[in-house]
A and B are shown apart, each in its own frame.
With several copies, the nearest count.
Chain A
Amino acid sequence: MRYLPLSNQDRADMLARIGVDSIDDLFADIPQKARLNDLMDLPRRASELQVERQLSALAAKNVPASSVPFFVGAGAYKHHVPATVDHLIQRSEFLTSYTPYQPEVTQGTLQYLFEFQTQVARLTAMDVANASMYDGSTGTAEAVLMAHRVTKRKKAVLSGGLHPQYRAVVEGLADLADDDVVSLPADPAGTEDILAQIDKETSCVVVQSPNFYGQIVDLKPIAAKAHECGALLIAVFTEVVSLGLIEPPGAQGADIVVGEGQSIGNGLNFGGPYVGLFATRSKYIRQMPGRLCGETTDADGKRGFVLTLSTREQHIRRDKATSNICTNSGLCALAFTIHLSLLGSKGLRQMATICHANAVKLKTALASVAGVEVLTGAYFNEFTVKLPKAADAVVEALAAKGILAGVPVSRLVPGKAELANLLVIANTEVNTDDDRDALVAALKEVLA
């Protein structure tokens, strides 16, 4: 087997050196009746060529985003990532290194995490950021738990504009941890009165902007009300590129900012792995989940970096830890950092501007389609339209024509008649005039 360096002679010699007769002597502690003495009912080893063919055949059954006009978003976005990024993250020293617990020989990882933290803090306009979370949704759940720790309260208020799957993650965890969650109804029109839900019992209010429907939300009044009640504002985003163009939550009074970083540096990957961004105010550092990288000096006085504040973590505090997390999304964070180090604020702003311009163009073009109504007022790259038919059927019909048009709200929130015709449409820098023309033309046909 190509991955196993021992030859049969090696094995025999080593068993002799160990002083046992057979390999099974080393497995003697496994209860006899539970031992597998035969091979499992699974295929035998395969050559690389065979594996490649088998997996390629599966891959060929899927339709890649790059191969069609593509407008699917709702939490994950198709952006163009420079080839340099994927090349660099495949460097052996990044790809096959462990968590940097031994900082003397992992300064490479530690330094990029420090760069990552600085980038995220600046993007969100917050004091500090951690070294990444699994993704935006789990980060949001961790933010709620953190708010509970900070406020010593147990009630979270979730906006109806929060991504429905993020909401499900928070609710699931809260439910089993016996916390209270007040989830507002789906809010495609951006009319919910979330201020009314915030009271003195409230630990935190969770608001996404741009929200699931694409609407940009003014966070300032919500922050004001939350702070008035002693609650924290958790601001969520799923499209980090928006921060290149719109006012960041940190400048609007958010206490915790959490979001999905996939758009920068990372591919779609059918939903994972992604990279959660998590930032907060300095005063809450010690309540923060996840890894943190900090600056220090070595025995020769040289600047260096270490994982720090580990007293919050499970490997020191065990059942008193701030969370059970013991990995971050290291390599995805590296991809994020490299891509953003190439973009810089200038490039990010340009990229965001194109995304927005393409959204504006598509919105304008959709005005020509009879029966289509755009529900979203202020938006970045994504907006919701109301179709004259059920959105899921329209999307399937368009897919059959080779166009991936967006996400029907009913895919995530089924069974609600008022949402059945809604379609969330995303735009990025990869969309061309031809893509939009194709979508509009096909939509007219499907709706005719």
Chain B
Amino acid sequence: MEEPLIFEFGHFDTTGVDFDMPDAFEMELGGHERKAALELPGLAEPEAMRHYVRLSRNNYAIDAGLYPLGSCTMKHNPRLNEKMARLPGFGDIHPLQPLSTVKGAVELIDTLAHWLMTMTGTTAVAMSPKAGAHGEQCGMMAIKAAHKAAGRDPKIVLVPESAHGTNPATAALLGYKVVSIDAKDEDGTVDLEALKRKIAEHEGDIAAIMLTNPNTCGLFEREIIEIADAIHKANAYFYCDGANYNAIVGKARPGDLGVDAMHINLHKTFSTPHGGGGPGSGPVVLSERLAPFAPLPFIRKGEDGPVLVETPEALEAGEQPFGRMTAFHGQMGMYVRALSYMLSHGSDGLRQASEDAVLNANYVRVGLQDLMSLPFGERPCMHEVLFDDTFLKDTGVTTLDFAKAMIDEGYHPMTMYFPLVVHGAMLIEPTESESRASLDLFVATLRDLVMSARNGETDRFSGAPYFSPRRRLDETSAARKPVLKWEAPAPAEAAE
């Protein structure tokens, strides 16, 4: 059965919420009563329940199957975390109620900050960014503020081609010019010599480099320390995109690699749920050089415990926040979940999780490398393995077709056409949450698909998916003439 929109089956004159209405009273709205129409259906609870349960069934989810999205890190979301976030002492407290009544909340944020700094080997952390991209923005704002404080005004940010699109977007948002840096042909990592030349070319005008490490090809930048040194020598900062930090938790500390700022996607590395696209949370760890510029609010160690600093008026010497990223204190609900995850794993478990993630990715790699093509040879990868479309050459099957055919086999497609540095990229990240049996089945399925493509069974691909709630959707017409909300159908023409 097809599920209509609420506007198509709901009553517009009913409500599914009961209220105890007050006696008549004189309103004090100053004549601003709503006159504009407001037509929203009010469903009875059983109607709403059924509608949204049915809708949910059209979704793929990590709870229902392996989600091999490289770089997106779809790992298990423990329900303990959900339970903890719903404790009234966390879920039902107001950001502006007296600080004396939220001491546990501030302590929780401080504890989480301690874990993040210790893991990453950094000095400070800006907790409030609301998502990874927001964290990038925060980190780059701190860098800009630091330059400003030093009387510098560099205009260029270096970004490798393999970077997430948010990196150049963030740099541009802050008025920087984005200069691309070259990758080494053999493995897609940054070419140190080329970088040095670029630095020399723009001497004194480089604000920062934005680098993902492990990079989006699933490889660790072997010359990372040299890169950091070169950048620092140029009076610039090293911004690390932390999207792939989950590969190395407990194995290396970004601070030790020379990173000045790195956002951490709590949903990728620390298991807070993706929720169909958010909410995220993107705390940014900062090196000693950037620490003073962390935005408001931040937590200062006080004699009687942690102190939440909310306004410029409350600053002490040396504190130079560049401003504020958001109202209130950030994504508390996500903090609780992430800390619950960290406490559960502990130092040993976090390290084990990274190891298992890398182990699983390499297990998939060796399971597929004879049939699918590795752009940079059969070297170990980190937590994700990158294939290109060479193996599909002359089959008439594209990366997109191949990925869509996975849906009919019960899998979500892998990340496609990203990173841009290889042709027809397919980036697979199984995460540590998959069992060996699950990986074996996944590998077998992909092998079967490859053989099918080789055997010329193009129908299986070109029309895929066949068995999903919807088949391929017409994105072009959606964009050409956007329909972004439901409109009541025009009344039928009167007869005659």
Contacts and interface: CB of A to CB of B under 8 A. Distances in A.
Interface string A344-362: 1111111101101111110
Interface string B50-64: 011101111111111
B323 A173 contact: yes
Most chain A C-beta atoms within 10 Å of own C-beta, residue among B84, B93, B168: B93
Interface residues of B, number: 213
A351 B16 CA distance: 12
B225 interface: yes
Contacts of A285: 482, 484
A404 B100 CA distance: 11
Contacts of A117: 484-485
A429 B325 CA distance: 31
A30 B340 contact: no
Contacts of B95: 75-76, 268, 270-272
A415 to B, nearest CB: 5
A29 to B, nearest CB: 4
A103 B329 CA distance: 34
Given A39-B250, A353-B21, A306 B276 contact: no
A30 B257 CA distance: 9
A98 B92 contact: no
Contact of A46 (B48, B77, B326, B344): B344
A36 B336 contact: no
Contacts of A84: 45, 48-49, 78-80
Interface in A22-53: 23, 25-31, 33-36, 39-48, 50-52
Nearest to A267: B91
B36 interface: yes
A380 B29 contact: yes
B391 interface: no
A269 B344 contact: no
Given A102-B413, A270-B93, A26 B362 contact: yes
A66 to B, nearest CB: 5
Contact of B484 (A102, A292, A317): A292
B276 A98 contact: yes
Interface stretch (A107-115, A197-205, A225-233, A436-444): A107-115
A291 interface: yes
A414 B331 CA distance: 24
Interface stretch (B103-111, B232-240, B283-291, B450-458): B103-111
Contact of A90 (B34, B42, B82, B224): B82
A4 B22 contact: no
A21 interface: no
Contact of B19 (A93, A103, A171, A354): A354
Nearest to A91: B56
A94 B275 contact: yes
B355 interface: yes
Most chain B C-beta atoms within 10 Å of own C-beta, residue among A45, A72, A131: A45
Given A39-B351, A319-B178, A342 B56 contact: no
B326 A137 contact: yes
Interface residues of A, number: 215
Nearest to A20: B380
B29 A216 contact: yes
B425 interface: no
B476 to A, nearest CB: 9
Given A35-B252, A243-B34, A304-B470, A7 B118 contact: no
A92 interface: yes
Interface in A240-282: 243-248, 250-251, 267-273, 275
A119 interface: yes
Interface string B321-336: 0111111111111101
A11 interface: yes
Contact of B485 (A114, A125, A243, A326): A114
Given A117-B485, A298-B473, A306-B473, A347 B103 contact: no
B178 A102 contact: no
Given A97-B60, A128-B484, A1 B225 contact: no
Contacts of A108: 55-59, 276
Contacts of B365: 18
A176 B61 contact: no
B16 A343 contact: yes
Nearest to A134: B130
Contacts of A342: 15-17, 42-43, 45, 48
A85 B111 CA distance: 28
Contacts of B327: 75, 135-137, 163, 165-166, 169, 271
Given A39-B250, A104-B473, A245-B29, A3 B363 contact: no
Nearest to A357: B22
Nearest to A308: B478
Contacts of A45: 18, 344-346, 348-349
Nearest to A402: B101
A201 B328 CA distance: 31
B14 A344 contact: yes
B149 interface: no
A67 to B, nearest CB: 7
Contact of A270 (B90, B352, B413): B90
A47 B323 contact: no
Contact of A176 (B144, B168, B482): B144
A372 interface: no
Nearest to B214: A29
A151 interface: no
B244 interface: no
A89 B274 CA distance: 12
B271 to A, nearest CB: 8
A55 B412 contact: no
A378 B29 CA distance: 5
Given A104-B468, A329-B279, A399-B98, A354 B22 contact: yes
A27 B31 CA distance: 50
A330 interface: yes
Contacts of B347: 39-44
A318 B323 CA distance: 25
A92 B49 CA distance: 9
A324 B102 contact: no
Contact of B59 (A87, A109, A313, A399): A109
B277 A247 contact: no
Nearest to A356: B27
A75 to B, nearest CB: 6
A109 to B, nearest CB: 4
A344 B373 CA distance: 40
A7 B13 contact: yes
B72 interface: yes
A343 B40 contact: yes
A30 B94 contact: no
Contacts of A103: 470, 473
A356 B29 contact: yes
A368 interface: no
A314 B64 CA distance: 29
B394 interface: no
A324 B210 CA distance: 14
A420 B174 CA distance: 36
A300 B18 CA distance: 42
A105 interface: yes
Contacts of B434: 5
A16 B226 CA distance: 33
A46 B22 contact: no
Interface string B264-298: 00000001011111111100000000000001100
28 contacts: A2-B45, A42-B347, A45-B18, A46-B346, A83-B83, A86-B86, A92-B61, A96-B74, A106-B276, A108-B58, A109-B59, A118-B5, A216-B32, A248-B36, A273-B331, A285-B484, A297-B474, A315-B164, A341-B6, A341-B40, A344-B14, A346-B42, A347-B17, A354-B21, A361-B25, A404-B98, A404-B101, A412-B310
Top 7 closest A-B pairs, CB basis? A344-B42, A378-B30, A172-B323, A59-B89, A271-B328, A61-B104, A331-B275
Given A29-B220, A270-B102, 9 more contacts: A2-B18, A3-B46, A3-B78, A30-B251, A102-B60, A269-B90, A308-B475, A326-B133, A341-B40
